[in-house]
Amino acid sequence: MIPVMRSPVLAVGLLLLGLVVSSDARRDLRHWTEISQWYAACMVAWLIAGPATIVAGLWILASRGRRQLPFLVGGAGAILAGAVMLGGVLSYVIPCSGAG
């Protein structure tokens, strides 16, 4: 069990991660016709993971860190967002700028 004193810190972290992931996905999906199918699939996965982490962060704050399920939901959302980003970058679906 996570100590109650650390719960607000984790909740704020989940809220920030969820907001960043959701806002980036919404911004990129506005250009739906200009992106590839696979990149759009990454954005849809982020649209699922982002709000899940936001809800989990709010749930942790509301329950004061006394329940385990919001930590599992938030962790799953964060892992999904990270795995989609890693897979998209490694398969050259998500465009990255670099030297060359």
pLDDT digits (tens, 9 = 90+) for 2-57: 555 678 888 888 889 999 998 888 888 888 788 888 888 888 899 999 999 999 98
Contact predicate 24/66, CB 8 Å: no
Give Cβ neighbours of residue 28 (< 8 Å, ≥ 6 apart). 35, 39, 43
20 exposure class (CB count in 10 Å sphere: 0-12, 13-18, 19+): middle
Structure tokens at 51: 């709000």
Whether the CB-CB separation of 56 and 14 falls below 8 Å is answered with yes
Per-residue pLDDT reduced to its tens digit, 46-87: 999 999 999 998 998 888 877 888 888 988 999 999 999 898
Tokens representing 80 are 């999904």
pTM (2 d.p.): 0.80
Alpha-carbon distance of 87 to 72, in angstroms, equals: 22
DSSP state of 6: T
